[in-house]
Each structure stands twice: as C-alpha cells, then as structure tokens.
A and B are shown apart, each in its own frame.
Chain A
Amino acid sequence: MPPRLKVWAACRALSIRPRPLSARPPLRCAAVPVRTFADSTNTTNTTPAVPASKLPEGYEDPEPESQAKKNESEHDDNVLQALDKLKMISYGLNPFDPAVEGHKYGLPQLPLPSPMHMKHRYDDVVVQLTKLIMRDGKLSKAQRDMAMILNYLRTSPPPKINPSKPLMPGSPPAAHLPLDPITYITIAIDSVAPLVRVRALAGAAGGGKALDIPVPLAARQRRRMAFQWILDVVEKKPSKGSGRGMFPTRVAEEIVAVVEGRSGVWDKRFLLHKQATSARANLNYKAPPRRH
C-alpha cells in the first residue's frame, strides 16, 4: 500500500521534527560488531557501547587519531538518535524492534555489484567459453576444465609477444598477464577473433552462383568463432600426459600460443579478413524485391 498518505508519513512532514527521519544515520547498536552466540544466555545484542578489550580480534578502530573529534560527533549523534527514538515512541512504535529497523548489521549498498547476483557470478567471457567447452551438458566438468585453464595461465611464464601479431590495443604488458588469467584469456580471444564473417548469398551472383558478402560480427559472435577455431586446433593436438587435466592443458597451451603469435588460428583470421576485403564490393548488394 502507498506509504505516502499514511498518517505517520504525514506527521513526518511536520516542521517541528528536529531532523528528517529518513536521513537518520544507522543506529549505533547496529554498527557495533557484537554477536550473540547460539549458546550464550545473554540475548540482548543492543548494547550501545562495548569496551575495546571485548571487541573481537580483527576488529580495528578505523581512525584512532581523530578519536576526540569522533567522540564529540558521536555524542551529538547519540543525542539525536535518542530524540529519534523518543519520537518513535510518541508515534507508538517500538524503537528497539528489529522489524522497525529491519536489519541488524547494516545494509549492503544497493545496487549490488553484478557478480553478486547468483546467476552472474562469473565473468561473462569465462561463462561463454565454459559453455563452449561443455560437451553433453556436463557443465560441472566444463567449469572444472575452465578453472584448470585459468590456473595453467597463472603458472605459465609471461608470454613473449610477437610484434607481427599484435594483441588488442590497450592490453596490459605481457608481464601483467599471468597473474590476471581472466584478462589473459579475454585478450587472447579478442585479439584473434575475426571482425567479419563472409556470408555466401545463394544465387545472388547470377547464374546460380553464390555471392560473398562480408557481414560484421557482434562481440559475442566474434569470441565464439575465435574459441571454436582454438578448440579445433586443440582437438588435433596430441596430449602429453594422461588424466583429466590434459584437455585443459592443451587448451591453455594453445591460448599461450595465440598470445605469442605461434598459433595457426591467426592464419585463419588473416585468411578470412582477406576474403572479406576482396568481397567488399558486394557490400552494396541489395536483394531484389521478391516476386510471387
């Protein structure tokens, strides 16, 4: 129901209130990290102040220097909060009811960052590549493989970049890549990804011949194409060892090869781009209106 026209909401608009209720800082008792344990008999957790000796380890005072200043402002805060609470009592509300406050340990800042959503917990590129690795719907295995790939990248030496096959502009220096494997793999895939694909339009060249038309690709499509090329190469490679870690090792080796410019995937990209360039005249082609 709309809160705007409630009685209490109307009262909040009254000018006699010292401060607006909504702009009130969170209650002090909520900010102090005191917990009651399941077996403790003392159930009140609203003690406003805790001596420093009783604070749990790891709890640090954020600013010990400005202690005096803080104390002063804290005092003011306390007074205002007390007034707020009195006001709430006058409205007929219980200020210590957690249902009124709604939280005990402070609220997370909204909107939550994207990786905090259960369905978007991994990086987008990583998710896409994982799904491309997946066979027979075995997502769990694909995720394990992807984790192994990233781990391989983390432990492999920094790549030596071939200047004739440059990475994407703006990519970090090679020495920074291994410790950030997600960037590593993203840059590898994006660098080798084709910009266009060549679409053969059946019968458009006349005489039943197909006409090649270059078509731009979206980022996701580009990545897919590049990773499929990499997987094609990986399938033909022999594995050095045995066991379940071998497939991810081969994929990771190929990714390193891509970044170092040794991979055959680059040739595929150049070939495709050449083909698209030679077919660029066909960009003006317009399909004739259909006759029935």
Chain B
Amino acid sequence: MASSRLGISTALRGVRPSSRGQWRPLDQQFQALQLFNDPKSTRCLSTDAGSFEDFLKTQQDQAIQAAPGINLADIVDFRNISYARAVPVSPSYFSRQPRFNDSYLALQKLMQSYGKLPVVSTGEVERVAWKSLVEFRQMVGERVKASDYVKCLEIIKRLHRIHPELKPPIFVEAFQAFKRDIQPFTNKPNPIRIDWVGRALGIGRRKSSVARAYVIEGNGEVLINGKTLADAFGRVHDRESAVWALRATDRLDKYNVWALVAGGGTTGQAEALTLAIAKGLMAHEPALKPALRRAGCVTRDMRRVERKKHGRVKARKMPTWVKR
C-alpha cells in the first residue's frame, strides 16, 4: 500500500518535467496554473482509495478477492507486521459495488489532481460516446445507482475537456472502462473529391428520395433527370428548395448542376436535392459550410413516415369506438 500511495506523486512528477521541457510558451501562458505537490499525508485510512494504478491492477485481476489468510506459523518476527489479520485488496471490498466504487474514487482522485488544468471549449472537445448505465452495469456486473453513475460521468466529462496536449496518458486507461466499445464518432465520411473535369458529386436524401447532384462551375444551368427545373418541379416552392444552397450563398450564376433524383414525392425529391447540391458545393468551397448551415441546407432531415401498428388504423389512429 505504501508504495502504491507514492504512485500518484510519481505520476505527477512525470507530468511536470515533461511539460516544462516541451511546452515552455504554454507554461508562461498558464502561470496561474498550480499543480499539486506531493501528497502531504503519509497515513492512509482504510476507506481511502488507493492510487489509480491500484485500481488498474484490480481491474486486471477481474474479480476482487480477499487477501490470503495469514499463516501465523510462518511468521517469525511480529514487529514488521502492520495488520494482524487478512485485509482485502480493495478498500471497497465490503460495499455493494466494489468495482464501481473503486473506479469512482479513483476518478475523484484524478479530479483532485488534474482538475485545475486548462480546458478547451465544449465545441472543440473530441467527441466520445460514453457507456450508458445499462451497458456499464452489464460490464461490471453490479447494481450501480443511476445517480452515482451520472456523477461519475460528470467527472469524466470534465476531465475529458482538459486540453488534449496536457492530458496525462493515464487518462486513456482511466476512461477506457467508460467508453463504449464502438465509437460512432470515429466514423468520418469520405471527403468529396472534385474529379478531373471539375465535378463534385454530392448525395442527399430526404424522406424516401435519393438525389445525386454533380456540381460544376458554370453559369446557372440546372438539369434534373434531364429536365429543366421548371419541368422537373411544378411547384415554385420546390424549385426554390432544390437550388436553395446556391441561392443562399449567391452562387446560382456561378455553378451548373446536373442531378439525378429518384424515389419519393416532389417535396422529398426537392429537399434531397438541396442536401446533394449543398454537399457538392461544399466540396468546391469548404468555407461555405457555416453559411450553408445557417441556410438550413446541411442537416439531413431524418424524419420518415411512421410505421403502421397492429390494432390501429394508421400509425396512431385508433379504430372508431363502437359500444358493442
């Protein structure tokens, strides 16, 4: 236990010199920053959580076990023995959720140590999908209280906001248990390339329509399934929707569009084209993305027709009530 108690200080020592060596300008920038010195207390209560390395070790052992019994016959000299009986490896051994409690305490400890490091704004944080309560319960096999888990996640999210270049490597292991196995945010769409004749192919969907739009520099001609905009859409509203990305950024006279659209009705096709053309346009001019987002052209509208359910006339409508 004693050696493990020193672990946190060594970990901190590991951070400071390295940061000083590599990030001198940063150090000047954050002069007000105070890292904790070595832990002052040398005594440790049994409720005090061990260091994070301890926690990791127990994690590796999987099941928390009691320490082996003391064979008094083997002991010759009693003076160096600190405990007269077997002591559990984890201080949470007698609680209901020993594994969760261990990790919670370890996180609190990390929070105490690194909580004052500078953070980045929420928009700049790397997005991570954390485990839901159910998933976490399944993993640890304990009945973790929802409120406790929320608190735990709060700490994790706060620690996760610490500037990535200052994050101690220990965090990676600390967060591993709370990260979902599959990280959807690591899936990055393939960037749209401009081909050898200068076309960018954007694909958009809405309701059950799919649109493919080739956006190319030109003088404002639009062909949809080989027809002009007026022939493709009878309603002026739909025609406007289709070229809204170009209209909102004042580029209707600078690009030509040749598009194919299939499936669904007129509204769906028109708004699928909106997205397709916006994507194609962003391939040509990535800096337009904020403008296009404000014009409502970037987000895929995920709403679909609600399915019909049995026992109902439509998705929600109940059959007419008849007394008998």
Residue of B nearest to A117 (CB): B296
Q: Is the C-beta of A243 less than 8 angstroms from some C-beta in chain B?
A: no
Whole-angstrom distance between the alpha carbons of A220 and B287 in the complex? 38
How many interface residues does B have (CB within 8 Å)?
38
Q: Is the C-beta of B61 less than 8 angstroms from some C-beta in chain A?
A: no
Whole-angstrom distance between the alpha carbons of A119 and B286 in the complex? 23
Q: Is the C-beta of B92 less than 8 angstroms from some C-beta in chain A?
A: no
Which chain A residues lie closer than 8 Å to B256 at the CB level? 38
CB within 8 Å: A-B pair count: 85
Task: Quote the shortest CB–CB distance from B45 to chain A (angstroms).
Answer: 40
Which chain B residues lie closer than 8 Å to A98 at the CB level? 284-285
Q: Is the C-beta of B157 less than 8 angstroms from some C-beta in chain A?
A: no
Q: Is there an interface contact between A110 and B286, defined as CB atoms closer than 8 Å? A: no
Q: Is there an interface contact between A110 and B217, defined as CB atoms closer than 8 Å? A: no
Which chain A residues lie closer than 8 Å to B241 at the CB level? 118
Given A10-B25, A35-B218, A110-B294: A102 and B285 within 8 A (CB)?
A: yes
Q: Is the C-beta of A101 less than 8 angstroms from some C-beta in chain B?
A: yes
Which chain B residues lie closer than 8 Å to A102 at the CB level? 285-288
Q: Is there an interface contact between B217 and A36, defined as CB atoms closer than 8 Å? A: yes
Which chain B residues lie closer than 8 Å to A111 at the CB level? 294
Whole-angstrom distance between the alpha carbons of A45 and B197 in the complex? 14
Q: Is the C-beta of A175 less than 8 angstroms from some C-beta in chain B?
A: no
Residue of B nearest to A37 (CB): B218
Q: Is there an interface contact between B26 and A5, defined as CB atoms closer than 8 Å? A: yes
Q: Is there an interface contact between A112 and B244, defined as CB atoms closer than 8 Å? A: no
Whole-angstrom distance between the alpha carbons of A121 and B247 in the complex? 12
Whole-angstrom distance between the alpha carbons of A72 and B251 in the complex? 30
Interface residues of B in 285-299 (CB under 8 A from A): 285-288, 290-291, 294-297
Q: Is the C-beta of A108 less than 8 angstroms from some C-beta in chain B?
A: yes
Whole-angstrom distance between the alpha carbons of A245 and B227 in the complex? 29
Q: Is the C-beta of A151 less than 8 angstroms from some C-beta in chain B?
A: no
Q: Is the C-beta of A66 less than 8 angstroms from some C-beta in chain B?
A: no
Q: Is there an interface contact between B295 and A116, defined as CB atoms closer than 8 Å? A: yes
Which chain A residues lie closer than 8 Å to B290 at the CB level? 110
A1, A10, A36, A121: the one within 8 Å of B240 (CB): A121
How many interface residues does A have (CB within 8 Å)?
30
Would you give the 0/1 interface string for A1-14, flagging 1 where the beta carbon is closer than 8 Å to chain B?
A: 11011000010000
Q: Is the C-beta of A107 less than 8 angstroms from some C-beta in chain B?
A: yes
Q: Is there an interface contact between A35 and B249, defined as CB atoms closer than 8 Å? A: no
Q: Is the C-beta of A270 less than 8 angstroms from some C-beta in chain B?
A: no
Q: Is there an interface contact between A117 and B218, defined as CB atoms closer than 8 Å? A: no
Residue of B nearest to A116 (CB): B248
Given A99-B286, A104-B284, A112-B294: A37 and B219 within 8 A (CB)?
A: yes
Task: Quote the shortest CB–CB distance from B279 to chain A (angstroms).
Answer: 15
Q: Is the C-beta of B226 less than 8 angstroms from some C-beta in chain A?
A: no
Task: Quote the shortest CB–CB distance from A14 to chain B (angstroms).
Answer: 11
Q: Is there an interface contact between B285 and A104, defined as CB atoms closer than 8 Å? A: yes
Which chain B residues lie closer than 8 Å to A38 at the CB level? 197-198, 216-218, 256
Q: Is the C-beta of A19 less than 8 angstroms from some C-beta in chain B?
A: no
Whole-angstrom distance between the alpha carbons of A92 and B73 in the complex? 73
Q: Is the C-beta of A43 less than 8 angstroms from some C-beta in chain B?
A: yes
Task: Quote the shortest CB–CB distance from A271 to chain B (angstroms).
Answer: 38
Which chain A residues lie closer than 8 Å to B25 at the CB level? 10
Q: Is there an interface contact between A35 and B217, defined as CB atoms closer than 8 Å? A: yes
Q: Is there an interface contact between A1 and B288, defined as CB atoms closer than 8 Å? A: no
Q: Is the C-beta of B124 less than 8 angstroms from some C-beta in chain A?
A: yes
Task: Quote the shortest CB–CB distance from A229 to chain B (angstroms).
Answer: 28
Would you give the 0/1 interface string for B236-266, flagging 1 where the beta carbon is closer than 8 Å to chain A?
A: 0100110010001111001010000000000
Whole-angstrom distance between the alpha carbons of A119 and B287 in the complex? 22
Task: Quote the shortest CB–CB distance from A31 to chain B (angstroms).
Answer: 13
Given A35-B254, A117-B296: A1 and B164 within 8 A (CB)?
A: yes
Q: Is the C-beta of B51 less than 8 angstroms from some C-beta in chain A?
A: no
Q: Is there an interface contact between A107 and B291, defined as CB atoms closer than 8 Å? A: yes
Which chain A residues lie closer than 8 Å to B296 at the CB level? 117-119
Q: Is the C-beta of B126 less than 8 angstroms from some C-beta in chain A?
A: yes
Which chain B residues lie closer than 8 Å to A104 at the CB level? 254, 284-285
Task: Quote the shortest CB–CB distance from B273 to chain A (angstroms).
Answer: 12
Q: Is there an interface contact between A118 and B274, defined as CB atoms closer than 8 Å? A: yes
Interface residues of A in 35-81 (CB under 8 A from B): 35-38, 43, 45
Q: Is the C-beta of B120 less than 8 angstroms from some C-beta in chain A?
A: yes
Task: Quote the shortest CB–CB distance from A116 to chain B (angstroms).
Answer: 5
Whole-angstrom distance between the alpha carbons of A35 and B217 in the complex? 7
17 intermolecular pairs with C-beta atoms under 8 Å apart: A1-B126, A1-B164, A2-B121, A2-B163, A35-B218, A38-B197, A98-B285, A103-B288, A104-B284, A107-B287, A107-B291, A108-B250, A110-B294, A111-B294, A117-B294, A118-B295, A143-B237
Contacts A105-B254, A108-B248 supplied; 16 other A-B pairs, CB < 8 Å: A2-B120, A4-B120, A35-B217, A38-B198, A38-B218, A98-B285, A103-B285, A105-B250, A110-B291, A112-B248, A112-B295, A116-B295, A117-B248, A117-B295, A117-B296, A140-B235
Nearest 7 Cβ contacts at the A-B interface: A102-B287, A118-B296, A103-B287, A2-B124, A103-B285, A112-B294, A116-B248
